[in-house]
Structure 1
Amino acid sequence: MEKVVIDAGHGGHDPGASANGLVEKDLTLKISLGIENHLKSILPEVDIHQTRTDDTFVSLEDRANIANAGFPNFFISVHINSGGGSGYEDYIHPEYPDIEFGEKYQTVFHDEMMIFLSTANVTDRGKKKKDLQVLRETIMANILTENLFIDDPNDSVLLKDETFIDGLCQAHAHAIKKVLELLQRG
């Protein structure tokens, strides 16, 4: 049975970014739970674990430990960006053991996300690599998504829209499904 770990970024005393009446830790939890619901509907046989299911703090080390303990096929960490800019981007670790394969599944994931996001005129900020602890310390295929900018006026309007959030969750679920299919093929 395939396993997926979904990591809602931040939580508890670590709110992440906040602006325009939004708080990152609340959005990441909402999106992560929504991803699980959509993923269960399209792949009912997949075993899904969350690093958190409520507003609690989980350290980066504990997030990796939760993922690594369950031997999942795929790990996804969900975040909201801030700091000037707009749009969507995702990350893999620059020293992923098989970087060619990492780039391949990142492209599959990213392209699937942009099918939905382009319908909402969300800027494609691209596929990126960065030495992020949660990616470095998880031992399976993994990705971190930065879903729009909480401090951008246009992005924040979308992040407040329930229909957009549901579509974003559904896009993540379909992107995960495509990666799992790729992982099965090797």
Structure 2
Amino acid sequence: MVAAIEEVKKVLWDGGHGGKDPGSSGNGVVEKNIALQVATEAAKRLERDYEGVQCLLSRSSDVYLSLSERTNKANAAGAHLFISIHCNAGGGAGGFESFTYIGTKDAATAAFQDVLHAEIMNRLKPFGVRDRGQKKKDLHVCRESLMPAVLTENLFVDVAADAARLKRPEVIEAIVIGHVAGVAKYLKLQPKKAQQPPASGATNILGPASATVEQAKAWAKSKNAPAELVALADLYWLLAPERGGD
């Protein structure tokens, strides 16, 4: 008996605004740019790190799309989830909030919002981001999509403290990771298996570091390495996991 092939889950990532529509702007931050950065990076990470998922983008560059073009693309593709990425404005103290369509009574949509909101806030709390809560509103992208849809408002560009956070790569990283983790958890996606070890007798040049960064610096100094090289050790230890080591 042939085992059933598990259906690939399709996720539509919608970077809000774009092109002639910049969205909100303030303190040197433009909403459409943050939205596109988060959407494209989250899509890349989800496909890279998890099995059985296909990511689609409403836009992959700075172009204008109507709201119906966005939902039509998701509906035509038979997407399982729709996530629309935005930044906010006019929020006083700032913070993060998420929205679903005010008229939906769909349990799956509510469950998706619960998981996604929690995962994002878990990553943003260490940066002092205020949780403005889970909300409902008459939003086209949530109303006209035929699958569970959530719109996220990722901090306020016109609140100085939030805008300063949005200029920090580690905060953008937290937003991306939170979105990816929320989708993966809701869809029950399995992480991709680690790379197979080399055949017996072969030497694997990629792997976890056996020395600490401080030990590496000390060794480099003992070999009279240039100060610039020693200073790069911290960056190498930070980037190594994404480049082949752990």
Say yes or no: TM over 0.5. Answer: yes
Structure 2 partner of 1:95: 103
Q: Which has the larger radius of gyration?
A: 2
Show the counterpart of 1:119.
Answer: 126
Task: Kindly state the Cα deviation for residue 97 of structure 1 after the two structures are TM-superposed.
Answer: 4.7
Which of 169, 174, 179 is residue 162 of structure 1 equivalent to? 169
User: CA shift at 1:103, angstroms?
Assistant: 2.1
Instruction: Tell me the CA shift for residue 105 of structure 1.
Output: 2.2
Alignment counterpart, residue 37 of structure 2, candidates 30, 35, 42: 30
Report percent identity of matched pairs: 40
C-alpha deviation, 1:45, in angstroms: 2.9
Q: What secondary structure is seen at the aligned counterpart in 2 of 1:30? A: helix
Question: Which TM-score applies when normalising by structure 2?
Answer: 0.71
Q: Using the alignment, how far apart are the partners of 1:74 and 1:101 within structure 2?
A: 10
Name which of 158, 178, 181 aligns with 2:185.
Answer: 178
Q: What CA distance in whole angstroms lies between the structure 1 residues aligned with 2:147 and 2:127? A: 31
Contact persistence 1:9–1:78 (CA under 8 A):
yes
What SS does structure 1 have at the residue aligned with 2:158? Answer: coil
> Distance between the aligned counterparts of 2:54 and 2:34, measured in 1?
23
Cα distance per residue 1:72-118 (max 9 Å; x no partner):
110000000001330000001122252x3322221111111111011
The root-mean-square deviation of aligned C-alpha atoms, in Å, is 1.3
Contact 1:73/1:180 (<8 A) preserved: no
2:80 alignment partner in structure 1: 73
Distance (whole Å) between structure 1 residues aligned to residue 11 and residue 110 of structure 2:
19
Give the conservation status (yes or no) of the 8 Å contact 1:5–1:49: yes
Q: Aligned-pair distance for 1:44? A: 4.2
Task: Give the secondary structure class of the aligned counterpart of 2:112.
Answer: helix
Structure 1 gaps, min length 5: none
Give the number of equivalent residue pairs: 181
Query: What is the SS of the residue equivalent to 2:48?
Result: helix
CA distance in 2, matches of 1:164, 1:38: 16
Instruction: Answer whether contact 1:94 1:129 (CA < 8 A) is retained.
Output: yes
Letter in 2 for 1:34: E
User: Quick one: which amino acid aligns to residue 27 of structure 1?
Assistant: I
Higher RCO (CA-CA < 8 Å; seq separation 6+): 1
- Identify, as 1 or 2, the structure richer in strand: 1
User: Equivalent of 1:153, from 142, 154, 160?
Assistant: 160
